[in-house]
Structure 1
Amino acid sequence: MSGHSGYHARTAFGRVINTIEETLIAVLLGLMTLVTFVNVVLRYGFNTSLIWGLEVTLILFAWLVLFGISYGFKVTAHLGVDALTNVFPPAGRRVLALIAAACCIVYALLLLKGAWDYWAPFAALQPTEGRWFPTGFTEGVRDRAFYVTDQVPMLGMFRWLEDAINYGEEYEKLPRVIPYTILPVGAALILFRIIEATVDLFLGRRDSLIASHEAEDAVEEAAARAKEA
């Protein structure tokens, strides 16, 4: 049941999230390739470059990584070691998988809290109180909405942020709140995918959170092809 072929969104909300997720991953990968290609052509063909190209590529890569984490949970693509759990009978493996899933949910919740607390000041919002779990919102934390990227130019579509969070001050570069938005969004998506996978584990729709025996499957597939040849 592992692998991307086994995933099917079972609700309208799941289908919407799935479409957005896969579209964004494709767009991010395409933009990274395009910006890098253009920079190479400009550098070697015209002895110039996009001064913001490297920073944009790094931002896109960070977004791609965080979306990729949640996508990996969705398609059961994360690697893991199952040498110990395979010693147990199927019922024992299922219990251990559910325990692992519960640990992942706790970790994802902590990750979401940390992501929000880091991002919130850049959006002129307040981080949460509580060291481990949110117990409210902290008051009086100085916002960091005035922080901008190093080289990425300001886009007109985000000018509304100047009045919304920067007290009417004009941004010369793209504010960091934009690229940092992936932190709470990515963490929330990871939590959603882990909960979804845990429900599937509980209902018996899948048997693991990790990709198992892919190396053995690849060897068997190669051997089968060799015999056919």
Structure 2
Amino acid sequence: MSAKYAPKTALGRAVHVFEESAIAVILGVMTVMTFMNVVLRYVFNTSVIWAPEATQALFAWLVLFGMSYAVKVTAHLGVDAVIAMVPQRSRRIMALISALACLLYAVLLMKGAWDYFAPFAGFEQTGGRWFPTGFIKTRDQAWYETEQIPMPAILHFLEPMFNQGEAYGKLPRFIPYAILPIGAALLLFRVIQASVEVVRGNRDSLIVSHEAEDAIDDVRHLNDGE
């Protein structure tokens, strides 16, 4: 799928490599932790008590980090039965409408993600029911910790900034929750990029389509070669 996306600048290539590497690392760490815990439980009758919670957090990072990546490489599935029945001009109009709808969704998601995350990091939420109208006073909940995940020694420098100098016993919740605004911001950024490509005529839609027809064509070519 990544072959459909070709970064045109050095920065674009660096970000592209970073995204793919991060997704691979997260998936790898999840696999190793789960496998390790299974072996410890069934072979040594013990387990790493915080591994399930950490795996859940990493899975959330994988999903939310991957949704923007899927927009970038045109990997989100969609139904194009209606689009395929209309003329090319109508397809372009429908693609623009869908791009606007996705932009609206990404903006709303960004607001919701920030408003959920902000209290856990001691930041202010945004006002307004649908769209941000500024920042409002918010109860500081930066002292909230995860249930079991230990606090790495390398992160103790965060305590004066977020916990008024008090030591965290466990990993603070704002660290795993940080993927909410990060993932939403990346999604908004990628949807804007994709929408610009649709406007310029360099992209037909925001979804992958015709996968069934492509699969049939691949099989047909294989059969023709026999």
**TM-score normalised to structure 1 length:** 0.95
Query: Which SS does the other structure have where 2:171 is aligned?
Result: strand
The count of corresponding residues between Structure 1 and Structure 2 is 226
RMSD: 1.2
* 1:224 and 2:188 correspond: no
* 1:44 and 2:26 correspond: no
Q: How big is the shift at 1:66?
A: 0.6
Q: How big is the shift at 1:194?
A: 0.5
* Ranges in structure 2 where 5+ consecutive residues have no aligned partner: none
Paired with 1:212 and 1:103, the residues of 2 have a C-alpha distance of 18
Q: How big is the shift at 1:86?
A: 1.6
4+ residue segments displaced more than 3 Å: none
Partner of 1:165: 162
Paired with 1:188 and 1:86, the residues of 2 have a C-alpha distance of 31
Paired with 1:200 and 1:15, the residues of 2 have a C-alpha distance of 18
Paired with 2:81 and 2:36, the residues of 1 have a C-alpha distance of 46
Paired with 1:104 and 1:14, the residues of 2 have a C-alpha distance of 22
Partner of 2:18: 20
* Ranges in structure 1 where 5+ consecutive residues have no aligned partner: none
Counterpart residue identity of residue 142, structure 1: R
Q: For 1:33, which of 20, 31, 34 is the aligned residue?
A: 31
* 1:5 and 2:10 correspond: no
Task: Give aligned-pair identity as a percent.
Answer: 57
Counterpart residue identity of residue 146, structure 1: W
Q: Residues 168-207 of structure 1: matches in 2 within 5 Å?
A: 168-207=165-204
Paired with 2:178 and 2:216, the residues of 1 have a C-alpha distance of 42
CA distance 1:105–1:13, shift in 2 (3 Å): farther
Q: How big is the shift at 1:12?
A: 4.0
**TM-score normalised to structure 2 length:** 0.96
Q: For 1:137, which of 129, 135, 138 is the aligned residue?
A: 135
Counterpart residue identity of residue 115, structure 1: A
Counterpart residue identity of residue 33, structure 2: V
Q: How big is the shift at 1:103?
A: 0.8
